[in-house]
Amino acid sequence: MASTPQAALQELNQKTRAISMLGSCASLLGWDERTYMPPGGVNHRAEQMAMIAGMTHEKMVEPRIGELLNIVSNSDLMNGGSTDAAVIVREVGRSFERATKLPQALVEELTRTSSLAQNAWEEARAKKDFKIFKPWLAKMIDLKKQEAEAVGYKDDPYDALLDDFEPGATVKDIEKTLTGLRAELVKMLDKIKGSSRRPKGDIMKRRYPREAQEKFGREAADRIGFDFKRGRLDVTVHPFCTGIGPGDTRLTTRYDEHDFNNAFFGTMHEAGHGIYDQGLPESHFGTPLGDAISLGIHESQSRMWENQVGRSKSFWKYFYPKAQQTFPEALGDVTLDEFYFAANDVKPSFIRTESDEGTYNLHILIRFELERAFFAGQLQVDDVPEAWKKKYQDYLGITPPDDSIGCMQDVHWSAGLIGYFPTYSLGNLYSAQFFAQAKKDLGDLDADFAKGEFSRLKKWLNDNIHAHGRRYLATDLVKKVTGKPLSHDALMTYMNAKFGELYGF
């Protein structure tokens, strides 16, 4: 038993590290399930995942954790809330409070259903048959409603789920942010629609052999700073990154020989997540000081490397000659300017993960509104395919021809990640604001990129974002780093400048 506040803090850290080790095991099983596990193993894997979730929950709700939090929080270790101990108490206390409200049976059933639903989703997506996925989606929505009620909320049940991914965020905040962003996006997209300039549309759809794509993508990920001695890249149905633990970060992507953007920018995106995970302080593994701040901040890192870096002209000044050598048949007659314009083509598309920077946030707005409708009782599962098509027609002027590239394109609903989608748009906003500050602090980053040098930006991110773990809330971190609260100003300034040059407005 802890006899002093310092001893209580050490015991608390031991307990949270044990919880994180279980989480690490679950992450590895989840990665294997989405990459190499044979289809016949899905039912057994679901039971494995449910068991680990139950064990993790048992450890998280131990009364002793509450006792230790109380000892430390009422000691001099807090020092006004600015110390490591204060961060640990704040963040562990938040997790403890949420966990104690959730019945273990619900936690286990959510995890079990996630494994089974993801398998059904893969089958339904491949067969373009929503009926296969429908009962699993209905069950997952019901379970997530139970979670929201158990956790509790002030104004909106969706807040209870959103808070799990972006601590402190609310529907009211997100609506205000996305509404303001949408208004500015519409103005910009109208200018692009009115432009007579268009890139050569076939460039990215030419044949890019899979093996060559994999080699080129790995080289780019390595060059920007993802450490393959502490990570790997594999293939899956829906790309993701998972941090197993110190020294082990797994990236995944998918390949289409007639779509360069799919794998390449997907790999850059996941490598951005991986660089964040690899930049977290290893000595603090298992405590909040060794964990990512929020999904919005995590997405800021992936979107920055994918877009502000990977889709920049300076990036391709270095990589395009290599691309021409790697894909001579596809790119032999294409100039750098033509390729750069094609890589930044802005036009309505069906697939979120393959969409351009200009329309991407409209994809997020659609998902956010549909998820809200689930919890407001305004949308039933039977009506999802048609509701999805209507939203795409209203927001992007296109109608998905089938559900595999419509309402079944994302893994999130099958995985129980309801409340996750808004963090992508938050990530875009954070990334632009962080990147603008990095350029202000570091000077000419474009000159670096044109030489294949990305270490200064990576170090800036390591020092200003990754090294803090969860010391700051996301809203506080952006103020600390940039001196301003989060807004859409930096993102729209960046996009208007970029697309204004390309489309002539």
Residue 99 makes CB contacts below 8 A (sequence gap 6+) with 57, 60, 61
| pLDDT tens track for 393-427 | 999 999 999 999 999 999 999 999 999 999 999 99
The answer to whether 155 touches 142, Cβ cutoff 8 Å, is no
DSSP 3-state of 128: coil
Question: Domain 171-503 adopts which CATH fold?
Answer: Neurolysin; domain 3 (1.10.1370)
Catalytic member of 11, 91, 270, 357: 270
Q: What is the sign of the dihedral through the CA atoms of 46, 48, 51 and 56? A: negative
Read off the pLDDT of each residue in 306-323 and give the average, rounded to a whole number. 98
378 phi and psi, to 5 degrees?
-95, -10
- DSSP bridge partners of 248: 245
For residues 453 and 456, give the distance between their C-alpha atoms in angstroms, rounded to a whole number.
8
- Write the pLDDT tens digit of every residue in 218-264: 999 999 999 999 999 999 999 999 999 999 999 999 999 999 999 99
Is the distance from CB of 454 to CB of 322 less than 8 angstroms?
no
Cα-Cα-Cα-Cα torsion 432, 438, 441, 444, nearest 10 degrees, comes to -100
What burial letters (b/e) apply to 154-171, b meaning 16+ CB within 10 Å?
Answer: eebbbbbbbbbbbbebbb
**In 300-415, which ranges are E strands?**
none
- Tell me the pLDDT tens digit for each residue of 16-61: 999 999 999 999 999 999 999 999 999 999 999 999 999 999 999 9
Reference 277, options 237, 316, 241; nearest CA is: 241
Model confidence at 278, pLDDT cuts 50, 70, 90, reads: very high
117-159 pLDDT per residue, tens: 999 999 999 999 999 999 999 999 999 999 999 999 999 999 9
Residue 81 pLDDT = 81
Q: For residue range 57-78, what is the model confidence (pLDDT) as tens digits? A: 999 999 999 999 999 999 999 9
250 in helix, strand or coil? strand
Using CA atoms, how far residue 478 sits from 201, 290, 392, 433, in Å, is: 37, 19, 32, 8
pLDDT at 421 (0 to 100): 97
Please say if the pLDDT value at position 2 is more than 90: no
The pLDDT value recorded for residue 201 is 81
Above pLDDT 90, what percent of the chain? Answer: 98
Work out the percent of the chain whose per-residue pLDDT is above 70.
100
Identify whether 270 is a catalytic site residue.
yes
For residue 201, the one-letter residue type is G
Query: Which pLDDT value is given to residue 294?
Result: 97
Q: Are 163 and 115 in contact (CB under 8 A)?
A: no
In this predicted structure, what is the pLDDT of residue 3?
A: 76
Report in angstroms the alpha-carbon separations of 191 from 184, 346, 348, 446, 496: 11, 11, 14, 26, 10
Query: Is the confidence at residue 82, as pLDDT, over 90?
Result: no
Q: State residue 251 phi and psi, 5-degree precision.
A: -105, 150
If you average pLDDT over every residue of the chain, what do you get? 97
pLDDT score for 450: 98
Asked if 366 and 391 count as a contact pair (C-beta separation under 8 A), the reply is yes
Average pLDDT over residues 283-289: 98
Which strands make up the sheet holding 241-245, listed edge to edge? 231-235, 248-253, 241-245
CA distance 400 to 412: 19
Cα atoms in the Cβ-side hemisphere of radius 13 Å centred on 163: 20
Instruction: Decide if pLDDT at 1 tops 80.
Output: no
Distance CA 178, CA 425 (A): 8
Taking residues 477-486, report their average pLDDT. 97
As a whole number of angstroms, the distance between CA 348 and CA 135 comes to 30
Supply 225's token pair: 């700073």
Mutual angle of helices 384-396 and 357-375, in 10-degree steps: 140
Q: What is the sign, positive or negative, of the torsion defined by CA atoms of 374, 380, 382, 388?
A: negative
Pair 434, 300: CB distance under 8 Å: yes
Cα separation, 78 vs 260, whole angstroms:
51
Q: Tokens standing for 179?
A: 């509404």
